[in-house]
Amino acid sequence: MNQYVNQSLRHQHTKLTFNDTDYTRDLNNNDSNVNAPKTIERLEELSEYRNKQRQLESDDEDDDVIKLKISDQDINLDCFDINNIDEPETNLPDLLIDDVELLE
């Protein structure tokens, strides 16, 4: 029996097809048919259109960001105001350095 089923499946060819009609239903449960061609050109056109829509929505979201303004004054940062957190800081008074052991 299994051998017959396996041979039958091998000889069967399946083909995926689409029709050009989409079925829609509105809020009042009214059904309607919409002509929607499934050609490569049309699908690419829809893809580009939706991509542009997503980009515009993303740009709109960025515009809604509220920036916090702390001061109107310019702040001048010099080399002493920038700290590297990757390296251990050893700016301790000499009195304390004798009691500290850096482990690496």
DSSP secondary structure, 3-43, as one string? HHHHHHHHH--------SEEEEE-TT--EEEEE----HHHH
pTM metric for this prediction = 0.38
Q: Coil, helix or strand for 83?
A: coil
Rounded to whole angstroms, what are the CA distances from 36 to 12, 53, 55, 62, 66?
30, 20, 24, 34, 42
- Is residue 18 within 8 Å of residue 35, measured between CB atoms? no
By the 8 A CB rule, do 21 and 34 touch?
yes
* Confidence (pLDDT) at 68: 78
pLDDT digits (tens, 9 = 90+) for 21-78: 999 999 999 999 999 998 999 999 999 999 999 988 887 666 667 777 888 888 776 6
What is the reported pLDDT for 52? Answer: 93
Of 1, 80, 54, the closest CA to residue 46 belongs to: 54
pLDDT at site 64:
64
